[in-house]
A and B are shown apart, each in its own frame.
Chain A
Amino acid sequence: MNIALINTNEKPQWCPGCGDFGILMSIKTALANLDKDPSEVVIVSGIGCGGKTPHYIRTYGYEGLHGRLLPLALGIKIANPDLTVIAIGGDGDGLSEGGNHLLHITRYNVDITYILQDNQVYGLTTGQSSPTSRKGFKSKTYPDGTPIEPVRPIPMLVSQKASMVSAGYAGNIKHLSQLIQQSIEHKGFSYINVYQPCVTWNTVNGYEWYQKRVYITDHNPEDFEQAWKKANEPYDTEWERIPIGIIYKNNSNTLDQEVIRRLGGNPVKIDKIYLEDVLEKLR
């Protein structure tokens, strides 16, 4: 597919240099490489700077509520499993407001791709600490440094045996777009934790900082032991080494296929009314 087909007339309004540009470009590249029909793609977002991504890709989209993108995306996917469904939102969105949904999405294992824009800060609400802000990070919330520990989304998802867990970097579009492509192709819930520089509110974890630490991992993501080690590496090394790539992967049945099996077809294509069959059972 020609990437021009998913361009919009509007130009993204992010701060110049924001990592969200790289993420946007990576998604578009992945969709073009996969030759997706734009009308069969739905991008579901939460609220935040990153949540504005669906504005700039001409597919279907649902710009939902802060933190609620996952159940919304799930509902869309099981209603019509032929669609390619991508959820995208920030770290505050997915790990704070929507934390409960992330905990449970691995249980459903619905075949969607979730891109989490991890800038370790609240961008849109002007620089408060986020759930991934590292201890000591100075923010509007904690001008003297964040005194509490961050959450660990990648180990959390690996421990839950999410179907596919990856880490990506907004500064490496080539690698990230391949990762997104693989995640879309993977049958099952796939999560990509994208390290995303926020040039305005997070001057600590910028491009230079990442450039020195990020490396492409070559471990076997289907080996849980290796995956667990890689998932924890940033924490174990005090963020000296940050692996990107597929961290963990498995194959298990998806909810959308279960829905098809149970209903005998794609829900959106069933329009018969089965009232009489049910009344028969009640009589």
Chain B
Amino acid sequence: MDVNIKVAALAGEGAFSIGNLLAKLFSKLGYNVIAYPEYPSLIKGGLNVIHIRFSDKQIYSPVATADILLSIGKDGYRYLKQWTEGIVIGDESVSNADLIINANELIQKHNLNPKVKNILLTSALLATLNYPKQYLIDIVNKMFGSKDKTILESNLKAVELGYQTTYRYINVKQIGLEKIVISGNEAFGLGAIAGGMRIASFYPMTPASSLFHFLINVRDKAKVYVIQAEDEIAAANIAIGANYAGVRAMTGTSGGGFALMTETVSMVGLAETPMVYFISQRVGPSTGMPTWTEQADLFQIWGAGQGDFPKIILAPGTVQEAYWYMGNAFNLAQKYQLPVFVLSDKFLSETYFSIDNFAKIEIEHGKVLYNHIDNVLPPGQRFLRYKYTEDGISEMPIPGIKNGMHIASSYEHMEDSFTTEDFNQRKMQVEKRNKKIDTILKNEQTLPKLYSKNSDKLLICWGSQILPILEVFDKIDFDVMHFNWIYPVNKLEIEKMIKKYEIIGFVENNSNQALYRFLRMFIDINADFSVLKYTGRPIFPHQLIKALNNLKDRNYKGIEILGEDFDIYELYTPWRLG
């Protein structure tokens, strides 16, 4: 079973609450679930659509077509009808719907609170699936149980009225244990909690904000303190201060906010302070299209910071990876004492997926010293904080530790942390810092993830765009290489991995071929083709199949640029809604 439902309503009218509720309910039956929201950067007006998909098989990506469209108001119907293969359910304004629920009339007749309309419509939709009513009642009790009793009663009545629908589309059933449904940003948040993060500071910016909203929601259970700083520069500095003091901390933003944080990247690069930056990309340049998705900021992040110093860049693609990489980012930051970037994008950050397994993340502090130091510091001298070592990493006592006094310095410094302009000392410190790259490549799992079927053709992608590819993996004759670890690049091993392929193509959600151009700086690689999309939406599975077929006719040569073939973008812009 693989069912797609789209719920559409004007912004502010609750399409997302319905979508999230449905996702939770299907997950209760043990189905795998995806819920992908689309919305313009407006609070009221414009159309919000959430694509919900549930299946008894593994699923990775939202798809274009819907089996069921729930249109609240007529605009959703107008644009989405042509992509609906099954039935349309609508309120009374959708006169051509297959199933019209006279919600307003019912509400009036039974003297209910008008706010129960969405519960009523959701109940009607669930009735057409023969969904167990009791589960919905349980959730409604949980949602409204603590509120005014009349509100709860109104909602329960709405469930009854919705379930009077006799139309049956399919029958869902319990197929397994309930899974947790979380958004990408919630997975990042859980990863941070599992990785021992204690302080998070941010300045609001879509699509990073919802990670912090999640942390705030669970802060008392998670023992996490979240600060909304006065700007991104402060947000970064607060987290850096905490990390310097030995407390795992992070900041997060999108490209525009990160532009402001850039000076801090260079500072922690030189001062060798552990630091974790979460960056969720959105459509640029500049303010761009704030609520839409893109993968065009790789060079901004890789190039951030004047001077020459090591950093780590990660780009997880699934919620499992989001959790895992975020948690480990804190280990990497402390072990290598450098800035670690965890990249996401609007698509991964705000889409909900099922997850049932959270692997344990072992906390590793590396050479950050939390206990006392036995050697007494002679008068006038500092701890050798930047001591030259074989692996490039020196001991870092946190303030409060006796005999560890030193300066974390944004000036070039000597081994004892005192500022220097001595050329040989300078040269030595550069080399010490650069050595970390080799140490990382030696100690960490830095290779891209290979999904192999022993093909002689390879698709390469990064971050969230693994999702549409995995969705069609069984239908294409390609191996897939996913760069979830981006930098440092393991030149020798990756070259070995790609050598055997006759044809290599990139799939990216941008127009600048960021990953391809990036990899060419480090490895010997020549792509035969690229599939690119930069409309503001992710690549959808059917588009990828079509693109690969087109490319096949051209011997897999050239660039295939994807437009939008389903819905139309006008859909989301209220200025045009009729």
Contact = CB atoms under 8 A, between A and B. Distances in A.
Interface of A: 4-5, 7-10, 37-42, 44, 47, 52, 54-55, 58-65, 68, 70-80, 82-83, 100-101, 103-104, 259, 262-264, 267-268, 270-275, 277-283
A257 to B, nearest CB: 12
Residue among A5, A75, A275, A281 having the largest count of chain B Cβ atoms under 10 Å: A75
Given A7-B379, A101-B234, A39 B241 contact: no
Contacts of B264: 65, 68
Q: Which 8 A-B pairs give the minimum distances between C-beta atoms?
A: A75-B241, A71-B237, A79-B245, A79-B247, A79-B242, A71-B234, A9-B380, A75-B238
Contacts of B403: 39
A70 B230 CA distance: 12
Contact of B245 (A38, A39, A268, A278): A268
Interface of B: 178, 180, 182, 190, 193-194, 196, 198-199, 201, 218-225, 227, 229-231, 233-247, 249, 263-264, 267, 271, 358, 361, 363, 379-382, 398-411, 418-419
Contact of B233 (A10, A71, A263, A283): A71
A74 B236 CA distance: 11
Residue among B229, B249, B407 having the largest count of chain A Cβ atoms under 10 Å: B407
Contacts of A80: 245-247, 398-400
Given A63-B271, A275-B222, A279-B358, 16 more contacts: A39-B400, A40-B400, A47-B410, A54-B407, A55-B407, A58-B381, A59-B405, A64-B237, A72-B238, A75-B241, A82-B400, A100-B231, A264-B223, A268-B245, A275-B358, A278-B221
Nearest to B380: A9
Contact of B399 (A39, A263, A275): A39
A76 B198 contact: no
B230 A72 contact: no
A42 B222 CA distance: 28
A177 B201 CA distance: 34
A75 B239 contact: yes
6 contacts: A71-B237, A75-B244, A78-B225, A78-B227, A263-B224, A273-B193
A38 B405 contact: yes
A280 B220 CA distance: 13
B234 A104 contact: yes
Residue among A8, A10, A38 having the largest count of chain B Cβ atoms under 10 Å: A8
Contacts of A270: 198, 223
Nearest to B273: A62
Contacts of A272: 223
Contacts of B193: 273-275, 278
A282 B405 contact: no
Residue among A47, A64, A281 having the largest count of chain B Cβ atoms under 10 Å: A64
Contacts of A41: 399
Contacts of A40: 399-400
Given A40-B399, A63-B410, A64-B267, A78 B242 contact: yes
A63 B398 CA distance: 15
Contacts of A70: 234
B230 A103 contact: yes
Contacts of B267: 64-65
A60 B405 contact: yes
B219 A42 contact: no
B380 A7 contact: yes
Given A55-B419, A83-B400, A273-B363, A72 B225 contact: no
B410 to A, nearest CB: 6
Contact of B408 (A5, A55, A63): A63
A54 B408 CA distance: 10
A72 B201 CA distance: 12
Given A55-B418, A80-B399, A279 B241 contact: no
Residue among B229, B235, B237, B263 having the largest count of chain A Cβ atoms under 10 Å: B237
Contact of A76 (B244, B381, B409): B244
Contacts of B199: 75, 78-79, 259, 267
Contact of B218 (A60, A273, A278): A278
A76 to B, nearest CB: 4
Nearest to B221: A277
B303 to A, nearest CB: 18
B419 A74 contact: no
Given A262-B220, A262-B225, A267-B247, A79 B182 contact: no
A254 B227 CA distance: 14
Given A63-B411, A267-B225, A282-B182, A68 B399 contact: no
Contact of A68 (B219, B237, B381): B237
A75 B237 contact: yes
Nearest to B245: A79
Contacts of A271: 196, 363
A74 B245 CA distance: 11
Contacts of A274: 193, 221-223
